[in-house]
Structure 1
Amino acid sequence: MLKAQDSMKTLEDSAAAALKALLEQVPVIKLADIEHESLSPDRGVDIVAHVDVSGRRHTLVCEVKSSGQPRHVRMAALQLRNYMVHHAQQATPVFIAPYLSPEAQALCREESVGFLDLEGNARLLFDTVFIERIVASKPAVERRELKSLFKPKSAQVLRVMLRDPIRAWRVTDLAQNAGVSLGHVSNVRASLLDREWAKVSDGGLFLSDPDALLDGWRDAYDPPAGKRMSFYTTLHGGAFEEAARRVLRSERTMRHAAFASFSAAHWLAPYGRTGAQYLYADEAGVEPLRAALKLSSVSKGENVVVTLLKDPGLLHDTVEPAPGAICTSPVQTYLDLAVAGERGREAADHLRREKLTWSK
């Protein structure tokens, strides 16, 4: 507990220093004094700054939090409003955190709260002063936290929820359906709630903003880890499709292989053919594919690409839009297409319009 208090004190010191440095950059502002909780008793807000603007006194009341996720923005805005009602009605509310994403910044504007983060993003509006600064940098810890939300085990939870976003899940049911531990579900739950991509109802956790979740996943997406295997087949067109559908629906290969990327999109939301076929497989699926599709290993000129997955969990989330046409789910197919170059992004956008739209 003491360590957490020390960490918060350090953050408040850094926040006060950042606010002071920002205000000192504006010639018409004279900083009279700045008080923060690490130096004085709890007042209900973390920092109070008194400034002089061309001879007029003004007060900034600031709430500091260790997270700048949207849920914490709303909490801080409520705390600031309550404080101002009882102590400083004419003051300007300001939220300060280590980092504020564009979504969190937009929420601050919506809540009429100024903001400042330790990366350098800032927006303050009071008296005749308007300060706005947006930087492109994102702290490494923020990138790591977002990446961790989409790692294989967590992704299994997200895939389950995206099948039916409005369905409310109990933690135990979600863990069972996703095939992961209760701890994994709890971590995903916390991340979704912090970003306001999910909410909790009487029935449990549900996705309140599946589009924002999918956008975040797309932007942080790395293709599944695995061995890329290049093959050539003499089967083309209908002959290839017939052989592939036959082997994919066979008992030996079921749940061990699936059409992926452009090949899955061909069945889910056709946009345009490519010169190669793409499949995912686990160890048990590669040899049946090799035999049924008459695949020969090549170093160049391939027309079939099979990715041997390191983590085959996504093969448990497949769809069958036509008999034997076992494909990666629309969500997985969308993500793969989105990182497959310009043509892939166009196909991804088409797939999203056709298969991944949710009512608000």
Structure 2
Amino acid sequence: MLKDALPMKQGETRAGEALRQLLENIPILQIESIEAQAVAGDWRPDLIARLLVDGRQHLLVCEYKSNGQPRYARSALLELRNYVAQTASQATPIFIAPYISPAVRQLCEEKGVGYLDLEGNARIAFGSVFIERMVAEKPAAEQRELKSLFRPKSAQVLRTMLREPARAWRVTELSEISKVSLGHVSNVRTGLIDREWARASDDGLVLSAPDALLDAWRESYTSPPGERLHFYTPLHGSTLEDAARGALSIDDGTGRAAFASFSAAQWLAPYGRTGTHYFFADEDGLRKLKAALKLAPASKGENVAVIVPKDLELLADTVEPAPGAVCTSPVQTYLDLSIAGERGAEAADHLRRERLSWPR
């Protein structure tokens, strides 16, 4: 049964119930009690579960955190390990949170700490007992939080940082360069630090795990909202390429366009040509492309695809690897390739090796 040595907070109560439900299904275990602990003075775990395993007593020393992100988990694991080492040799440390990501699960395993989350993911091992359970889906709250980190305004901040991943950024600098409010930059900063994708230094915010950040962005990425248009051009080969570069390089203060997806990858990290040419453009940029490439609408047999994105800041995140060859940035090109089917995934992997490799 669940026994309270002290009144438990709501989160700890849920943690205790989840632990009890997990353990009561293990035939060789008998639950004697699950008790809340005093919090005054020296650090104490939130819960201690007293078990009988084949007639022998064993303790589960548990710490509950309302946020299971790496930033909070790491300190909890340290406290748990220290407590068990100093006061409870016949005990197993357990970290509990509403949701524990795969990265934190791996961290728990590396530190020799069991884990349980309120979504049902669990791994507890001691003696002859081994419990492991995996839930495939991320909780809705976690998915919303991740998506918010990669929405257009937040993405402007991330793209700015990934252009100079070793740089330490002040919040005011990021706000000015990415054209995003100070409040929004601060929210992004918190999200990055909580996941240990960035750290705060004396000089500012520094990306500490750009690869992990890019991995998560890729997993959450969907094609930018906007109008998708398909055309046919009679131009081919170098004639088409020269005409496109001429249109993209026109700087008359109106209209922006850029090579995108496979077409951008040809300039950034050539991998394999496709029969279709890809562009991002605003309305005026589209008019320039139509004129330069002699585009005609096509319902089939198209060889030019243009996205007019709602987020026009995508057209500010460009590079020019050769005169007139204005391309979406390596990060944006990588993301677009990653959702472009099997060939796109292969081209994305090649681009990442060539242009998006950072010291670990």
Alignment-derived partner of residue 221 in structure 1: 221
Alignment-derived partner of residue 136 in structure 1: 136
Q: Report which stretch shifted further, 74-83 or 257-266.
A: 74-83
**Tell me, what secondary structure is at the counterpart of 1:67?**
coil
Alignment-derived partner of residue 4 in structure 1: none
CA RMSD of aligned residues (A): 1.6
State the distance in 2 between where 1:254 and 1:326 align.
15
Offset of residue 149 of structure 1: 0.7
Alignment-derived partner of residue 91 in structure 2: 91
**Tell me, what secondary structure is at the counterpart of 1:333?**
helix
Q: Is the 8 A contact 1:253 1:288 kept in 2?
A: no
- 1:97-246 alignment, distance < 5 Å: 97-246=97-246
**Tell me, what secondary structure is at the counterpart of 2:272?**
coil
**Amino acid in structure 2 at the alignment position of 1:192:** L
**Tell me, what secondary structure is at the counterpart of 1:300?**
coil
**Amino acid in structure 2 at the alignment position of 1:184:** H
State the distance in 2 between where 1:303 and 1:52 align.
70
Offset of residue 85 of structure 1: 5.0
Cα-to-partner distance string for 1:131-177 (whole Å, 9 max, x where unaligned): 11222121111111111111011011111111121111111111111
State the distance in 2 between where 1:26 and 1:90 align.
19
Q: Is the 8 A contact 1:160 1:177 kept in 2?
A: yes
Say if 2:252 is the partner of 1:252: yes
Offset of residue 254 of structure 1: 7.3
**Amino acid in structure 2 at the alignment position of 1:207:** L
Number of aligned residue pairs: give it: 351
Cα-to-partner distance string for 1:6-62 (whole Å, 9 max, x where unaligned): xx932211111110111111111111111126xx76673211111111111111111
Do the aligned partners of residues 310 and 322 (structure 1) sit closer, same or farther apart at CA in structure 2, a change above 3 Å counting? same
Offset of residue 72 of structure 1: 1.6
Alignment-derived partner of residue 272 in structure 2: 272
**Amino acid in structure 1 at the alignment position of 2:289:** L
**Tell me, what secondary structure is at the counterpart of 2:130?**
strand
State the distance in 2 between where 1:45 and 1:332 align.
45
Q: Which runs of 4+ in 1 moved over 6 A?
A: none
Q: Report which stretch shifted further, 56-65 or 334-343.
A: 56-65
Offset of residue 82 of structure 1: 4.1
Cα-to-partner distance string for 1:244-299 (whole Å, 9 max, x where unaligned): 10110111377711000000001111111111110001123111111111111122
TM norm structure 2 = 0.94
State the distance in 1 between where 2:93 and 2:254 align.
58
Alignment-derived partner of residue 319 in structure 2: 319
**Tell me, what secondary structure is at the counterpart of 2:252?**
coil
Q: Is the 8 A contact 2:15 2:97 kept in 1?
A: yes
State the distance in 2 between where 1:271 and 1:41 align.
59
State the distance in 2 between where 1:149 and 1:250 align.
34
Q: Is the 8 A contact 1:53 1:127 kept in 2?
A: no
Say if 2:309 is the partner of 1:309: yes
State the distance in 2 between where 1:321 and 1:177 align.
21
Alignment-derived partner of residue 261 in structure 2: 261
Residue identity over aligned pairs, in percent, reads 62
Alignment-derived partner of residue 350 in structure 1: 350
State the distance in 1 between where 2:151 and 2:52 align.
50
Q: Is the 8 A contact 2:45 2:80 kept in 1?
A: yes
Offset of residue 83 of structure 1: 3.4
Q: Report which stretch shifted further, 326-335 or 170-179.
A: 170-179
Q: Is the 8 A contact 1:231 1:305 kept in 2?
A: yes
State the distance in 2 between where 1:326 and 1:66 align.
46
State the distance in 2 between where 1:325 and 1:84 align.
61
**Tell me, what secondary structure is at the counterpart of 2:165?**
coil
Q: Report which stretch shifted further, 245-254 or 20-29.
A: 245-254
**Amino acid in structure 1 at the alignment position of 2:195:** R
Q: Is the 8 A contact 1:259 1:327 kept in 2?
A: yes
Q: Is the 8 A contact 1:255 1:315 kept in 2?
A: no
Do the aligned partners of residues 330 and 29 (structure 1) sit closer, same or farther apart at CA in structure 2, a change above 3 Å counting? same
Offset of residue 87 of structure 1: 4.1
Q: For structure 2, which runs of at least 5 residues remain unmatched after alignment?
A: 1-7
State the distance in 2 between where 1:252 and 1:343 align.
36
**Amino acid in structure 1 at the alignment position of 2:142:** E
TM norm structure 1 = 0.94
Q: Is the 8 A contact 1:253 1:284 kept in 2?
A: no
